[in-house]
Structure 1
């Protein structure tokens, strides 16, 4: 069965954009659309214009219809509302609980050290951030990391939007009771620039930028609307001048009047196009520390927002991965963990020192990890190979 979808409406623009190109009337025409169930037959429901995926999608995956599922997801992210919700993305919520306990320990250590982490788009003190949570979890709690990132929904959506060899970073966000909402914004790349700088990039790069990353959020607690789950404006990712419009008062006022919020339960996940207008909501509860693990997934061809020592992560995880393989954990789960931790793309490198042998490309770090697991290397041999590979990428 092939999935029939409407013809794409996106056309590539050339030239340069200015604030004069930002028209609220055109923005309204772009976002004031209805999401119909007929366009998303693998969704279980449509809530406030957002497709909700659960049992129907999993049944299709069990039947081997992965590409059909991914085609529908990519359409939702590009031409559709720009967002999709996955109920029970972590079907075993004890995995979420263990990760929450680990993150809380890391947050407590951060507070005890007197470190106060701020936020890009919220007032100081409104929330707590654990920057570099991916690396910190892997190094301190490798067993938890391996179980958490064995998840199958992350690679499903990431590959649908970015293709293989994507790179994940994760930064934990906790919005405390009384925490105020973020201002509406778009995300990295162009969304993390001043407007004047963003305007120097040609219009076709404004359209390219969202294809370099995928945004995600994993609910680590139940999030009724009063706790302030993320506010979204469906279809706003389709508006080409949106990176310049996001800070204009009339567009922010429109966002405030038309955004949607969806309650989440622990273990749910949301993925959205980074060009979607969005922002964390205000936590009006008195007792819920709204905790979400924010995932930024980068194309193999892009640059991630945060720097991560993937050699260190791979070394820390290897004993756990080796044990899991000896315990006959499915290879797909192990591959998911490796994709979330190791460098999956072999470039950039020094082609003087890291020459491909028998292939177009040198071996990637992820391929090295998998080779070591297959051949059951001891830890010292694996670490030597990791260091040697890292050294070959240097020019001297």
Structure 2
């Protein structure tokens, strides 16, 4: 990924390449990193280049009929995601029978959610406007194990996941059905830094801005035909190259540029698209009269984002809390108290159970660090703090009591 930053001397020598702030969000520099076209010679295994995006025939590059050298194809995919368009597509990625069985299972899960009542929150969509299955991978595995196994045995999926993340990876999915009239999303980048509060982004050094996209892969499997009128994802090829982009996508001039230059790739049922999470993108508006646009949104993560030891951070927070209250009463600084809290509590809101711990009105639910720091600030009694933390643990549980017997 490009490390190019604006050259205006607004910071001490070295600091400008180490930290990123709003002064780096130069639209002219951003435009300069977006070539006018994609050279087919750079992607010899692609069947075609469509809207600047390499499109591969899944039957040629993956599975038992693959004629191409797997490592060569994966090298090409890495180049495309890293410094190329940032997005690739596969035609015929999923067998129609497998896809139809999965779609039927997803529709059964959606029907059960509707019958249970309550609108599912979304990162960007208005609650209840569309149909969303959070943790669709686990729900499909429990609801229809054979369908799940057939679906995730897919070698096109493995081909690109292994290319970007290595031989082992963590797969999650959320099924999204955007109904006719569904609004478009605001352009954005994705998990991880794409979900960080914009006020906190400048606290992450530049190398973390470069590293974050290498930790996840975004994908979508089309469970129905998706003509442009149905609102397939709007994409800005090559935009993942711009390191300050996690800050830039909040700025109006970048949103305007996206609106004037994005492309959309129509998909047929069974096609799949995968992209670097730093690519500027947004779901399109469904202006059709009768297409319920169903996609299985895949978020595949590196297995390496783990601490070395398993720790009961709730128990630690409960035990340390009286000491934190004593520190505050003694006049210790907020900085010192926050340092102790960050070392103790879980600082990241993910992974969580998004059915119960929903990001309504925000990109992410609150973290344990947030709960603990607010409790110290308010002087919450220890018993109340423990109750709040235990309730949060309950919302994060992937198998809450209410679901264990379903």
Q: What TM-score bracket applies, with the shorter chain setting the length? A: 0.7 to 0.9
Change (3 A) 1:61 1:210: farther
Question: Partners in 1 of 2:68 and 2:90 — Cα distance?
Answer: 19
1:119 maps to which residue?
A: 122
**TM norm structure 1:** 0.73
- What is the CA distance between 1:59 and its match in structure 2? 9.6
Question: Per the alignment, in what secondary structure is the counterpart of residue 168 of structure 2?
Answer: coil
Q: Is the 8 A contact 1:86 1:269 kept in 2?
A: yes
Q: Is the 8 A contact 1:35 1:46 kept in 2?
A: yes
1:291 maps to which residue?
A: 294
Question: Partners in 2 of 1:252 and 1:205 — Cα distance?
Answer: 23
Alignment partner of 1:87 is 2:91: yes
Question: Partners in 2 of 1:83 and 1:166 — Cα distance?
Answer: 19
Question: Partners in 1 of 2:68 and 2:251 — Cα distance?
Answer: 46
Question: Partners in 2 of 1:23 and 1:282 — Cα distance?
Answer: 28
Question: Partners in 1 of 2:122 and 2:31 — Cα distance?
Answer: 29
- What is the CA distance between 1:306 and its match in structure 2? 3.8
Runs of at least 5 residues in structure 1 that lack an aligned partner in the other structure: 1-7, 309-396
- What is the CA distance between 1:196 and its match in structure 2? 1.4
Residue among 265, 269, 275 paired with 1:272: 275
Deviates more, 1:120-129 or 1:106-115: 120-129
Question: Partners in 2 of 1:235 and 1:203 — Cα distance?
Answer: 19
Question: Partners in 2 of 1:234 and 1:64 — Cα distance?
Answer: 25
Residue among 73, 77, 91 paired with 2:77: 73
Question: Per the alignment, in what secondary structure is the counterpart of residue 304 of structure 2?
Answer: coil
Alignment partner of 1:44 is 2:51: no
Change (3 A) 1:273 1:122: same
Question: Partners in 2 of 1:302 and 1:181 — Cα distance?
Answer: 31
Equivalence map 1:263-342=2 (5 Å): 263-302=266-305, 305-307=350-352
Question: Partners in 1 of 2:48 and 2:68 — Cα distance?
Answer: 22
Question: Partners in 1 of 2:63 and 2:146 — Cα distance?
Answer: 29
Q: Is the 8 A contact 2:20 2:205 kept in 1?
A: yes
Change (3 A) 1:27 1:298: same
Question: Per the alignment, in what secondary structure is the counterpart of residue 121 of structure 1?
Answer: coil
> What does the per-residue CA deviation read over 1:163-211, in whole Å, with 9 as the maximum and x for residues that have no partner?
1210000110010000000000000000001111111000010000000
- What is the CA distance between 1:123 and its match in structure 2? 3.2
2:112 maps to which residue?
A: 109
Equivalence map 1:129-140=2 (5 Å): 129-140=132-143
- What is the CA distance between 1:124 and its match in structure 2? 3.4
Question: Partners in 2 of 1:184 and 1:167 — Cα distance?
Answer: 26
- What is the CA distance between 1:56 and its match in structure 2? 4.7
Question: Per the alignment, in what secondary structure is the counterpart of residue 110 of structure 2?
Answer: helix
Change (3 A) 1:61 1:213: farther
Change (3 A) 1:103 1:185: same
Equivalence map 1:127-276=2 (5 Å): 127-276=130-279
Q: Is the 8 A contact 1:61 1:69 kept in 2?
A: no
Aligned CA RMSD, in angstroms, stands at 2.0
Q: Is the 8 A contact 1:177 1:286 kept in 2?
A: yes
- What is the CA distance between 1:245 and its match in structure 2? 0.4
Question: Partners in 2 of 1:187 and 1:208 — Cα distance?
Answer: 13
Q: Is the 8 A contact 2:130 2:179 kept in 1?
A: yes
Bigger CA radius of gyration: 2
Question: Per the alignment, in what secondary structure is the counterpart of residue 255 of structure 1?
Answer: helix
Q: Is the 8 A contact 1:118 1:127 kept in 2?
A: no
1:62 maps to which residue?
A: 66
Question: Per the alignment, in what secondary structure is the counterpart of residue 62 of structure 1?
Answer: coil
Q: Is the 8 A contact 2:110 2:133 kept in 1?
A: yes
1:360 maps to which residue?
A: none
Change (3 A) 1:10 1:35: farther
Question: Partners in 1 of 2:268 and 2:67 — Cα distance?
Answer: 27
Question: Partners in 2 of 1:213 and 1:275 — Cα distance?
Answer: 10
Q: Is the 8 A contact 1:43 1:56 kept in 2?
A: no
- What is the CA distance between 1:57 and its match in structure 2? 3.0
**TM norm structure 2:** 0.71
